Amino acid sequence: MNHFAAIASIVNASAFDSALKKEIEFEQKLKALLEKYDMSLKDIIGIFEPDAGGNARKGAAPTAKISRRERIVKRGGCRS
């Protein structure tokens, strides 16, 4: 049974390794394209999600602040 666990760990490690290699390759290609077109990751995110990053209110008109109603305190009871 111990031999089977060793083989399984080798298979999992190689699958993880190949997935990691593909991810690193993708990242390198993406960075190369970003440099080629003089863009950043923020630019790409802005294309796919225009409202992301707190830019949703950038062009919106400011909202008027509602003033609070004055509070009137009535004191009752006896005064000495």
For residue range 33-63, list pLDDT tens digits in order: 999 999 998 998 898 888 876 544 455 556 6
Give pLDDT, residue 5.
Answer: 76
| pLDDT tier at 17, thresholds 50, 70, 90 | confident
DSSP labels for 9-26? Answer: HHHHHHHHHHHHHHHHHH
Hunting for tokens 């970003």 — which residue is that? 34
pTM over 0.85: no
Amino acid, res. 45 = I
pLDDT score at 69: 80
CA dist 24 and 43 (Å) reads 21
Q: How far apart are CA 17 and CA 24, in angstroms?
A: 10
First vs last C-alpha separation in the chain: 93
**Which is more confidently placed, 68 or 21?**
21
